[in-house]
A and B are shown apart, each in its own frame.
Chain A
């Protein structure tokens, strides 16, 4: 019995989870906190400068500042500047995935200290709480093992070591037994918070909360104080208010069902997002952070995708679209720089718009898409072929790629400037002439030779 419980517990929390899901949550939380919600330094200094405010340090602030300030004391300006600066730097590192756990720890620490400092002067607000908890949990997880510079460096190293590039879509997703638990805790926290809101409404408001006058009161109050005209307009429509009140109750009370019936995430996650956007638009109350935490629900959404697809097919809503990738990239698999470039392109190719062909391993595939291309010409520069058979060489191949990948659209704009082509061709030729190749660059390397050489190289 005891063993069965432990096994069930381990299966629920510590089954292998996709590192990509966890990394996506890290990106969503760190980016949103850093860009949208990180406390401003001027605000922090203004608060600590003002006299007359009652400062009562929250326990979180007392504990986290203990090594740097006496227990319960008001942090000095210098300390606040240091905490804020450390937070911003650590946040950037945590976002791009450099220094992994230490960066996440420092970001969680500074975010908690600054928010707790704000709330030590008066009333405590709720929006940041769930992100702060989740940042601390991410510190204990391997969230930086994917979608990070650290992960890209490892991939580059591996690709160059074995001289073989494989697109991400062709590799089984990396999993880790410690990748699932933070996602599940995030899911449970969101459900418990909604449940807390629902229970409070029943406890404090009872059935009266669902009368249109309640929502109208809050819309007028916030609408007037926060200058939200949309809220004031909505307050004039009691019928709509009744529907919204009931819908709010349903979302808050039944959101927890997604933990038991994963397919319901497809219903409740969009409803929850719509609720937060609606509350922000009509009342100016910013709980949009929850939409970023919803990234944790990507895991049950993906798990239940086959059910959704089956239901959609049955309802005739399914559109099958298996169009081939619009561009084929022909690259030199014996050139380490080219292999590294393919790793980067694959990283930027989120929607899988590129097909990659290593000319040394798959020459027949090259002749299929570009029959006029000779092996020597293909080795001399990167080539990109579109579905119509147009071939773009070297710099112009990159220019075409930059138009195709949204992540490169800014560089596409730069490459469209007058004179860019002239300069681009020269730079490309210079780099192409200087790049190194493995020794079989004069004749055609067979796949067997390549693998044999790669084996020798990686063994060294």
Chain B
């Protein structure tokens, strides 16, 4: 092998070693669970999903969105889809709206009006399922109204 080729090979190995160390070191750094970096270093991420423990006394809240037009005679109808929002993000958005987040409400309002321009009022319906007693064969508890608001 000519000396120039050997030198180029060495240089390549040095540069690639930097890439290897950099990629793995950053991945290890973002994995440290004590710091929440909010996805800022995407695509390098830590993986804390589904890591919280739950007990038999915990409840799972299932949220659904229902809408009504401004006509006094109109009843609330359940929205069948997730308004084009990724299915995994939609429950999070509904929860934030139920908790009164104005940013989340504005986001949801925009999504609602893009699909249902005549929508006037929105409702978050919540069914709470007790984890400890859940059975596949049981029917779900009746929903309660988590929040009702005017869609703008």
Q: Show the binding face of A for B, using Cβ within 8 Å.
A: 9-10, 13-14, 43, 46, 50-54, 58-60, 112, 115-116, 119, 122-126, 128-130, 132-133, 137, 140, 177-178, 181, 185, 188-189, 192-193, 195-197, 199-201, 203-209, 211, 213-214, 216-218, 220-221, 224-226, 232-233, 235-236, 284-285
B51 beta carbon closer than 8 Å to chain A: yes
Q: Contact between A192 and B84 (Cβ–Cβ < 8 Å)?
A: no
Q: Contact between B107 and A53 (Cβ–Cβ < 8 Å)?
A: yes
In the assembled complex, the Cα of A115 lies from the Cα of B42 at a distance in Å of 10
**Given A54-B107, A216-B134, A137 and B23 contact (CB-CB distance below 8 Å):** yes
Q: Nearest 5 A-B pairs (CB), nearest first? A: A124-B39, A208-B53, A52-B110, A205-B53, A217-B54
Q: Contact between A192 and B43 (Cβ–Cβ < 8 Å)?
A: no
Q: Residue B41 contacts which of A59, A137, A204 (CB distance < 8 angstroms)?
A: A59
**Given A54-B103, A124-B45, A205-B53, A46 and B84 contact (CB-CB distance below 8 Å):** yes
Residue of A whose beta carbon sits closest to that of B30:
A196
Residue of B whose beta carbon sits closest to that of A51:
B110
**Given A137-B19, A181-B20, A60 and B43 contact (CB-CB distance below 8 Å):** yes
Residue of A whose beta carbon sits closest to that of B127:
A224
- Judged by DSSP, the binding face of A is helix
In the assembled complex, the Cα of A195 lies from the Cα of B13 at a distance in Å of 28
Q: Contact between A133 and B52 (Cβ–Cβ < 8 Å)?
A: no
Residue of B whose beta carbon sits closest to that of A125:
B88
Chain B 21-42, CB-CB to A under 8 Å as 1, else 0, gives: 0011001100101100011111
B107 to A: closest C-beta gap in Å: 5
Residue of A whose beta carbon sits closest to that of B31:
A196
Q: Residue B136 contacts which of A9, A188, A232 (CB distance < 8 angstroms)?
A: A232
Interface segment, one of B55-63, B71-79, B142-150: B55-63
Q: Residue B45 contacts which of A129, A208, A217 (CB distance < 8 angstroms)?
A: A129
Which A residues are CB-close (under 8 A) to B134? 216, 220, 235-236
Q: Could you pull out 9 A-B pairs where Cβ atoms are within 8 angstroms?
A: A50-B111, A53-B107, A116-B42, A119-B42, A200-B33, A200-B48, A208-B54, A214-B54, A236-B137
Which B residues are CB-close (under 8 A) to A221? 60, 62, 91
B98 to A: closest C-beta gap in Å: 14
Q: Contact between A220 and B131 (Cβ–Cβ < 8 Å)?
A: yes
B32 to A: closest C-beta gap in Å: 9
Which B residues are CB-close (under 8 A) to A189? 23-24, 27
Q: Contact between B19 and A192 (Cβ–Cβ < 8 Å)?
A: no
In the assembled complex, the Cα of A50 lies from the Cα of B47 at a distance in Å of 29
Which A residues are CB-close (under 8 A) to B62? 221, 224-225
